[in-house]
């Protein structure tokens, strides 16, 4: 078996793309999208008609409504190729607004259900701010499952687990990027700070019995992926899925629950969360940077829609 086939023995593989054909090629269980991936997809000739049709079908809708409809259109198409779930992201501009995030999550689920998609097949993707985590807590109680993204620190992961969210997406590659730039070191294998962060979160969840799923995300190379074999899920871009599929060699399970792991439980309230996040320069910078980047790509998508109307 190639490395991708072997990895699937230990970990649920998720496609990190809005490209239907890539999803079909690698047979993942789930798929994830974000504003950057949707923007990238609609710029391709094969996906442009989906954007055009969405605009034509809702001529009186606002630009924001068109974006929502487009997200649902992509998600619905993606679910034709995966047996599991699709993650659909809420506008990052709402990252610090709990009430607006809850309202948008409910709207997106209603649109999916109107399209014949059960809510169990959708994860609403929300930034791991304090406000986003609180919104996810409310949505989960409504039976709306959430994927907390832009996650860079243990305090974010703990807050998500205590809020009862379905899944978190720690960003391995972006953590690696920060430390590589800051320290001037090209970390490899188990020494990679992004890999170490996910392992720490995984062990914390297992030791204290949290049910929240851990899905490593934002990979820069296959080494990072293979070091996390055994993680609940890993969401992987098409180019890295292809590299795994093209490579022979043994894949070993690296993540195994350790009941004796030397980890202390963290008591979190809002003040503690904000202080711990503030003390982590990498997490603070990457969270802010990620929100800005997603907002920028959402803005580009809205501008594209307005120019086509």
Per-residue model confidence as pLDDT tens digits over 165-186: 999 999 999 999 999 999 999 9
199 in active site: no
Q: Which of 201, 197, 196, 118 is nearest to 159 (CA)?
A: 201
Q: How far, in Å, CA of 58 to CA of 60, rounded?
A: 6
CATH number of the domain residue 79 falls in: 3.20.20.70
User: What value does the mean pLDDT take over residues 284-301?
Assistant: 97
Which has more confidence, 244 or 33? 244
Measured distance between the N- and C-terminal CA atoms of the chain, rounded to whole angstroms: 49
pLDDT bucket at 260, cuts 50 / 70 / 90:
confident
pLDDT at 21: 84
Q: What is the phi/psi pair of residue 169, to 5°?
A: -125, 85
Return the residue matching tokens 């060699």: 249
Q: Which one from 8, 104, 125, 302 is the annotated catalytic residue?
A: 125
pTM: 0.96
pLDDT at 55: 96
Residue 111 in 3-state DSSP?
helix
CA distances from 69 to 60, 92, 108, 114, 253 (A): 13, 17, 9, 11, 40
pLDDT at 112: 98
Q: Which of 43, 40, 39, 76 is nearest to 57 (CA)?
A: 76
pLDDT at 61: 96
pLDDT digits (tens, 9 = 90+) for 194-243: 999 999 999 999 999 999 999 999 999 999 999 999 999 999 999 999 99
Mean pLDDT for the chain?
A: 96
Range(s) of the domain holding residue 285: 3-308
Q: Which of 173, 14, 139 is nearest to 86 (CA)?
A: 14
Angle at 206 between CA 171 and CA 118, to 5 degrees: 65
Percent above pLDDT 90 for the chain: 95
Q: How far, in Å, CA of 91 to CA of 64, rounded?
A: 9
Kindly tell me if the per-residue pLDDT of 193 is higher than 90: yes
pLDDT at 20: 86
pLDDT at 213: 98
pLDDT digits (tens, 9 = 90+) for 113-168: 999 999 999 999 999 999 999 999 999 999 999 999 999 999 999 999 999 999 99
pLDDT at 259: 83
Chain centroid to CA 226 = 18
Q: Are 216 and 255 in contact (CB under 8 A)?
A: no
Q: How far, in Å, CA of 277 to CA of 291, rounded?
A: 15
Residue 18 in 3-state DSSP?
coil
pLDDT bucket at 261, cuts 50 / 70 / 90:
confident
pLDDT bucket at 109, cuts 50 / 70 / 90:
very high
User: What value does the mean pLDDT take over residues 33-49?
Assistant: 92
Q: How far, in Å, CA of 130 to CA of 152, rounded?
A: 13
pLDDT bucket at 35, cuts 50 / 70 / 90:
confident
The DSSP code sequence of 239-304 is HHHHHHHH--S---------TT---PPPP--HHHHHHHHHH-HHHHHHHHHHHHHHHHHHHHHHHH
| SS3 sequence of 186-210 | CCCHHHCHHHHHHHHHHHHHHHCCC
* Lowest mean per-residue pLDDT among 38-52, 217-231, 266-280: 38-52
CA distances from 39 to 55, 74, 122, 306 (A): 15, 11, 20, 14
pLDDT at 47: 92
The number of folded domains in the chain is: 1
């Amino acid at each position: 078996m190639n490395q991708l086939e072997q990895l699937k023995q230990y970990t649920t593989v998720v496609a990190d793309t809005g490209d239907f054909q890539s999803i079909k090629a690698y047979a993942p269980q789930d798929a994830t999208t974000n504003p950057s991936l949707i923007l990238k997809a609609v710029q391709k000739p094969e996906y442009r008609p989906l954007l055009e049709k969405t605009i034509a079908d809702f001529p009186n809708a606002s630009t924001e409504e068109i974006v929502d409809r487009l997200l649902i259109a992509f998600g619905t198409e993606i679910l034709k190729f995966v047996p599991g779930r699709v993650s659909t992201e809420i506008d990052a501009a709402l990252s610090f607004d709990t009430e607006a995030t809850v309202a948008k999550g409910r709207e997106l689920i209603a649109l999916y259900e109107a399209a014949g998609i059960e809510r169990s097949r959708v994860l609403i993707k929300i930034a791991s701010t304090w406000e986003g985590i609180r919104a996810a807590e409310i949505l989960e109680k409504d039976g709306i499952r959430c994927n907390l993204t832009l996650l860079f620190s243990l305090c974010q992961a703990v807050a998500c687990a205590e809020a009862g969210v379905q899944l978190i997406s720690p960003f391995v590659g972006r953590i690696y990027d920060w430390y590589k730039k800051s320290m001037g070191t090209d970390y490899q294998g188990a020494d990679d700070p992004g890999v170490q962060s996910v392992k720490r979160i995984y062990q914390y969840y297992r030791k204290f019995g949290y049910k929240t799923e851990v899905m490593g995300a934002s990979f820069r190379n296959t080494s990072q992926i293979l070091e996390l074999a055994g993680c609940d899920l890993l969401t992987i871009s098409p180019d890295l899925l292809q590299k795994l599929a093209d490579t022979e060699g043994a894949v070993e399970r690296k993540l195994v629950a350790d009941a004796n792991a030397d980890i202390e439980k963290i008591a979190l309230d809002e003040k503690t969360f904000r202080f711990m996040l503030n003390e982590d320069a990498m997490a603070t910078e990457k969270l802010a940077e990620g929100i800005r980047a997603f907002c920028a790509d959402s803005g580009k998508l809205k501008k594209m829609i307005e120019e086509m109307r």
